[in-house]
Amino acid sequence: MISTATSTEAAPGTAGRRRRPWWRSNAALFAYVFVLPYAVLFAVFRLGPALYGVGLSFAEVGLSGRVRWSGLANFQRLFGDQLFWQALSVTVIYTVIAIPLCLVVALIMASLVNRPLRGISVYRVIFFLPVVTSAVMSGVIFKWLYSDAGALNSLLTGLGLPALDWLGSTSLVLPSLAIVQAWTRFGYDMLILLAGMLAIPEEYYEAARIDRTTAWQRFWHITLPLLRPSLFFVLVLETITSFQVFDHILVMTAGGPVRGSYSLTYMIYDQAFNYSEFGYGAAVGMVLLLLILAISLIQNVIVGRRR
């Protein structure tokens, strides 16, 4: 009777307490301490400049640094500029070349390292090294490989074939740059695809082996369909990377030859820092942002319908 009364009296007090929301809990407050430094750095060095660039696209900046509101004048000038359409064409062609190349190379390499071999982790680390290599360094290396006295032309002449002007030809410059991107990016894409492959249940492959299927049939009917989410993620990443290509162009071609590699990102740099057209360059950046966002949404819709 005493215990029953005690519990009965305690119940109203317990029910009267209000549980704190999760964002005010001790665990959340502890997490804020770790998130706050990154949030501050992100706001200062990423979000702030991005918002300033959006505002700058609707203004003109004089040589004295004075900012004057100009409305949509930069965008009107942009869509009537033949150089912009040429840069957009170069960017789209480069993206069409680079994305399939990066996906195929990453898929092949992920399939090669997805084997229960001794020391396979060492090869995975080696294949990832191009990702952590400086873009400027990789550009310098490939610029030497593509030169007249470089390794590629030496190999061609050794086989009795004519040497090629890799970076001096308007028809070869974009494929040459796409090869550089595939080399620098395949390690990162390989790890994403490898993680997707390792998540596929082994029972599917065992059942396929019982049915006496070939390795190609298992890859085509099991690996690729179940790897679709990882492939879509890699596709979005490579689309964004291809549209933002800049470092290799700056180091290797400087937009040449005859603006054959004059991409949108290089146009932003050229107009802003070579011609001091900061508002105009920011307008190009805004168009590039909207273009990447639209393409990513379209890719998401297409993949969602296929699912």
Backbone φ and ψ of 17, nearest 5°: -75, 140
Q: How many CB atoms lie within 10 A of CB 246?
A: 14
Q: Which of 11-15, 139-143, 209-213 has the lowest mean pLDDT?
A: 11-15
Average pLDDT over residues 110-133: 88
Average pLDDT over residues 131-137: 92
Cα torsion 219, 223, 229, 235 to 10°: value is -20
Residue 271's pLDDT band (cuts 50, 70, 90): very high
Annotated domain spans of the chain: 82-306
Whether pLDDT at 247 is above 90: yes
Per-residue pLDDT, 6 = 46
Residue 229, preceding bond cis, omega within 30 degrees? no
CB within 8 Å of 47: residues ≥ 6 apart: none
Backbone φ and ψ of 69, nearest 5°: -65, 130
Per-residue pLDDT, 305 = 61
- Cα 258 → chain centroid: 27
Whether pLDDT at 258 is above 60: yes
Whether pLDDT at 174 is above 90: yes
Class of domain 82-306: mainly alpha
Q: Which of 10-24, 137-151, 180-194 has the lowest mean pLDDT?
A: 10-24
> Is residue 116 classed exposed, middle or buried when 0-12, 13-18 and 19+ CB atoms within 10 A define those classes?
exposed
Structure tokens at 124: 């995975």
Using one digit for the tens of pLDDT, what is the confidence trace for 5-41? Answer: 444 444 555 455 567 777 777 788 888 889 999 999 9
Range list of β-strands (E), the chain: 59-61, 67-69
Residue 306's pLDDT band (cuts 50, 70, 90): low
What integer best gives the mean pLDDT of the chain? 89
Residue 138's pLDDT band (cuts 50, 70, 90): very high
Whether pLDDT at 48 is above 70: yes
* Host H or E run for residue 132: helix 120-132
Q: CB of 261 within 8 A of CB of 255?
A: yes
User: What SS3 class is residue 35?
Assistant: helix
Average pLDDT over residues 241-252: 95
Q: Which of 15-19, 146-150, 183-187, 278-282 has the lowest mean pLDDT?
A: 15-19
**Residues in the chain, how many?**
307
Per-residue pLDDT, 307 = 57
Range list of β-strands (E), 138-284: none
